C-alpha cells in the first residue's frame, strides 16, 4: 500500500495549524504543503502520526570564541543571537529540533588557547540550548589536535553541559582520524556512548587539492567537501579503527560523501590488490557502511533511494545544512522519495536522530 502522508488537519496549539495551498487544498501524497503566512510551525505527519523531526546538520558560530584566533563570523545567520530568524526557518520547513554544530577552525591553536576557546564555545552552546530546550541540542567542539585534551573536553561537555556528542572535521592538520594518536579520543567517545558528527573543513582535501579545484563551479566545496568525508571514512574502515572501537556511533555529513555511491570498489580493491590492504579487518569494507550513519543531504530521490540500498534506512538521519541554502526541502525530500515505508520515513525524519541524541519523542 502506498504510504499516506499529510499535514495534521486539527489545530492543537499556537504552534500547530492546518496548512493548505492557495486553493484551500491539503497536500498531495508525497508533497507537504508550504507553511502559512502566519509563520506558525508546520506539523509533519506520516499516515496520521505527528512526527518529531530532527535536523542533525545545522551550523552556528560563537563570535567570542572566534575572536580568540582573530576570526570573525562571515555569515550573520550563523549567530545564535539570530534565534528568531533560525526558529522561523525551522518552523517553515517543519523542523522541530536542530542539533547545532560548529565547523572546526581551531585545529592549529596551541593547547592553552584551544582549551580556553573550546571551554567558551561549549558553554555558549549549552546556554543557548538551555534557553530553547525544546528546539535545540548541540554537538560539543573539541580540540582534536590535542587528543587527550579533546577526550577531556568531550567528557566535560557531555557530563557538565549536557551536550549530545562531538562535531569534528574530516582530518586534523593533514592527519587522518584513523591515526593511532586519536585513539584516546575514540576510546572516550565509545565509553560515553555519544554520537560524533564528521563534517569536512576547508583545511582538509579542499585546500590540499586547491590547485585542482581552481576555476568555475566552486569545486573546492562541491567536490572537495564530500571527498574529504570519503577519505576520512575510508581510513576509519581500512585502518581498523571501527574494529578497535566497535561501539562508535559516527554520522557523516553530506550522505557520507562519495563512499556509499561507489562502495563496492573498496571491496574489489582488496581482491585486486590484496598486498595493498595492510590491515586485516573483521568484515568487508562495505559491511561497515551499515554501522555508520549519514545525513540525508543528497538532493534527489534517486540518490536517497541508493543511499538506503547501500547503508540501510535505519542509518539515515535528516540534515539541512542551515543556514547555507543547499536545500530548504529536507522534510519533503524524505516524504517524497518513492519506495520508503511509513516507519522508514519516520525514522529518517527524526526517530533515529532522537535516539542517537537522547531527544525525547
Query: Per-residue pLDDT for 117 more than 80?
Result: yes
Query: Per-residue pLDDT for 7 more than 90?
Result: no
Mapped onto helix, strand or coil, the DSSP state of residue 255 is helix
C-alpha 87/C-alpha 94 separation (Å) is 10
Q: What integer is the mean pLDDT of 280-298?
A: 97
Residue 47, C-alpha cell as written in the block: 499516515
pLDDT of residue 10: 30
C-alpha 5/C-alpha 48 separation (Å) is 7
Query: Per-residue pLDDT for 24 more than 60?
Result: no
Mapped onto helix, strand or coil, the DSSP state of residue 294 is strand
pLDDT band at 80 (very low <50, low <70, confident <90, very high): confident
Query: Per-residue pLDDT for 268 more than 50?
Result: yes
Q: What is the pLDDT of residues 338-357, one digit of tens each?
A: 999 999 999 999 999 999 99
Residue 13 phi/psi, 5-degree rounding, is -165, 180
Report the candidate in 151, 149, 153, 152 with the shortest Cα–Cα distance to residue 125.
Answer: 153
Q: What is the pLDDT of residues 154-185, one digit of tens each?
A: 999 999 999 999 999 999 999 999 999 999 99
pLDDT of residue 39: 66
C-alpha 67/C-alpha 171 separation (Å) is 23
Query: Angle at Cα 53 formed by Cα 171 and Cα 298, nearest 5°?
Result: 45
Q: What integer is the mean pLDDT of 310-325?
A: 97
Q: What integer is the mean pLDDT of 275-300?
A: 97
Average pLDDT, the chain: 90
292-318 in b/e form (b: 16+ CB < 10 A) is bbbbbbbeebebbbebbebbebbbbbb
What is the full DSSP assignment across 302-324?
A: HHHHHHHHHH-GGGEE----BTS
Question: How is the beta sheet containing 49-50 ordered, strand by strand?
Answer: 5-6, 45-46, 49-50
pLDDT band at 82 (very low <50, low <70, confident <90, very high): confident
pLDDT of residue 187: 98
Q: What is the pLDDT of residues 42-59, one digit of tens each?
A: 999 999 999 999 999 999
DSSP state for residue 170 in the 8-state scheme: S
Q: Do 238 and 281 contact (CB within 8 A), yes or no?
A: yes
| Whole-Å CA distances, 313 to 15, 162, 301 | 30, 28, 13
Mapped onto helix, strand or coil, the DSSP state of residue 254 is helix
C-alpha 263/C-alpha 153 separation (Å) is 34
Residues 6+ apart with CB under 8 A from 300: none
Q: What is the pTM of this model?
A: 0.89
Residue 107, C-alpha cell as written in the block: 585545529
pLDDT of residue 52: 98
Q: Do 319 and 295 contact (CB within 8 A), yes or no?
A: yes
pLDDT of residue 103: 97
pLDDT of residue 17: 15
Residue 341, C-alpha cell as written in the block: 515505508
Q: What integer is the mean pLDDT of 97-113?
A: 98
Q: What integer is the mean pLDDT of 200-219?
A: 92
Query: Per-residue pLDDT for 13 more than 70?
Result: no
pLDDT of residue 9: 32
- In percent, the amount of the chain with pLDDT more than 70 equals 89
Q: Do 319 and 56 contact (CB within 8 A), yes or no?
A: yes
Q: Do 281 and 237 contact (CB within 8 A), yes or no?
A: yes
Residues 6+ apart with CB under 8 A from 16: 8, 10, 40, 41, 43
Report the candidate in 198, 276, 295 with the shortest Cα–Cα distance to residue 242.
Answer: 198
pLDDT band at 28 (very low <50, low <70, confident <90, very high): very low
Cα-Cα-Cα-Cα dihedral sign, residues 37, 79, 60, 300: positive
Query: Per-residue pLDDT for 241 more than 50?
Result: yes
> What is the residue whose three cell numbers read 556512548?
193
Q: What integer is the mean pLDDT of 276-298?
A: 97
Amino acid at each position: 500500500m502506498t504510504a499516506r502522508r499529510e499535514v495534521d488537519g486539527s489545530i492543537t496549539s499556537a504552534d500547530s495549524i492546518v496548512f493548505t495551498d492557495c486553493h484551500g487544498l491539503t497536500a498531495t501524497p508525497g508533497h507537504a504543503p508550504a507553511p502559512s503566512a502566519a509563520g506558525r510551525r508546520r506539523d509533519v505527519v506520516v499516515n496520521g502520526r505527528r512526527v518529531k523531526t530532527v535536523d542533525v546538520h545545522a551550523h552556528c558560530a560563537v563570535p567570542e570564541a572566534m575572536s580568540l584566533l582573530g576570526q570573525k563570523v562571515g555569515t550573520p545567520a550563523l549567530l545564535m543571537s539570530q534565534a528568531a530568524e533560525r526558529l522561523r526557518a525551522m518552523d517553515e520547513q517543519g523542523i522541530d529540533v536542530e542539533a547545532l554544530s560548529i565547523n572546526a577552525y581551531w585545529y592549529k591553536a596551541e593547547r592553552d588557547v584551544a582549551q580556553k576557546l573550546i571551554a567558551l564555545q561549549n558553554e555558549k552552546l549549552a546556554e543557548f540550548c538551555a534557553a530553547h530546550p525544546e528546539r535545540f541540542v548541540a554537538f560539543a567542539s573539541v580540540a582534536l589536535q590535542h587528543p587527550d585534551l579533546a577526550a577531556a573536553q568531550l567528557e566535560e561537555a557531555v557530563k557538565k553541559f549536557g551536550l549530545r556528542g562531538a562535531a569534528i572535521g574530516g582530518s586534523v592538520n593533514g592527519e587522518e582520524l584513523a591515526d593511532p594518536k586519536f585513539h584516546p579520543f575514540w576510546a572516550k567517545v565509545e565509553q560515553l556512548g555519544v554520537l560524533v558528527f564528521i563534517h569536512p573543513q576547508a583545511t582538509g582535501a579542499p585546500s590540499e587539492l586547491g590547485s585542482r579545484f581552481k576555476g568555475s563551479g566552486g569545486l573546492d566545496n562541491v567536490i572537495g567537501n564530500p571527498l574529504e568525508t570519503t577519505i576520512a571514512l575510508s581510513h576509519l574502515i581500512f585502518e581498523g579503527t571501527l574494529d578497535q572501537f566497535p561501539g562508535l556511533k559516527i554520522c557523516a555529513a553530506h550522505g557520507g560523501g562519495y563512499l556509499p555511491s561507489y562502495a563496492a570498489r573498496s571491496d574489489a580493491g582488496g581482491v585486486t590488490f590484496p598486498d595493498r590492504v595492510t590491515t586485516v579487518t573483521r568484515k568487508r569494507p562495505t559491511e561497515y557502511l551499515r554501522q555508520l550513519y549519514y545525513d540525508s543531504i543528497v538532493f534527489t530521490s534517486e540518490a536517497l533511494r541508493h543511499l538506503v540500498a547501500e547503508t540501510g534506512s535505519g542509518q539515515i538521519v535528516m540534515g539541512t545544512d542551515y543556514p547555507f541554502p543547499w536545500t530548504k526541502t529536507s522534510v519533503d525530500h524524505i516524504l517524497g522519495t518513492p519506495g520508503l515505508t511509513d516507519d522508514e520515513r519516520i525514522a529518517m525524519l527524526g526517530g533515529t536522530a532522537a535516539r542517537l541524541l537522547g531527544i525525547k519523542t
